[in-house]
Amino acid sequence: MADAKSGTGKAKATPAVLMIPVTPDELLAKVVGATPLSRSEVTKKLWDYIKAKNLQDPKNRRMINADDALKAVFGGKLQVSMFEMTSLVNKHIKA
C-alpha cells in the first residue's frame, strides 16, 4: 500500500514510542495485567475490559463508567471521557 503523502510506496509505521514496553502499576495491573506491555497493548486491553464489562455510557459512548478497579485508576472519578481516560491511565504506567 502506497503512502499518499510521500509517494514512497511504504506503509506508515507505528511510532516507536508506542511499542516500548511499559509496566502497569498495581492499580492498573488489576485491569490489564502486571506483565510489561506496549502502550498500544495497554490501550487495547483497557478497551477489552471496558467492553467486556459494558462500561461505556449507553447514551454517550464517549464516556466511560468506572467499576471499582477503574475508579482507582481514574483517581476516584465515577465517569470520565475516553480522552481524559488516556491521561489518567498514563499516570499508572512506568517506562
Q: Which residue from 78, 89, 16 is spatially nearest to 46, judged by alpha carbons?
A: 89
Residue 85 lies in a domain: yes
* Sequence letter at residue 64: I
Closest CA to 71 of 90, 52, 87, 85: 85
The answer as to whether 5 is a domain residue is no
11 found inside a domain = no
Q: Is residue 76 part of a domain?
A: yes
CATH at 22: 1.10.245.10
- Print the domain residue range for 63: 17-94
Q: Would you say residue 78 lies in a domain?
A: yes
Mean pLDDT on 17-34? 92
47 within a domain of the structure (yes/no): yes
Q: How many domains does the chain have?
A: 1
Which tens digit of pLDDT belongs to each residue from 35-92? 999 999 999 999 999 999 999 999 999 999 999 999 999 999 999 999 999 999 999 9
Residue 40 · residue 18 · CB < 8 Å: yes
In a domain, 84, yes or no: yes
pLDDT confidence of residue 87: 93
**DSSP secondary structure string for all residues of 6-33:** T-S-PPPPPPGGGTSEEEE-HHHHHHH-
Residue 60 lies in a domain: yes
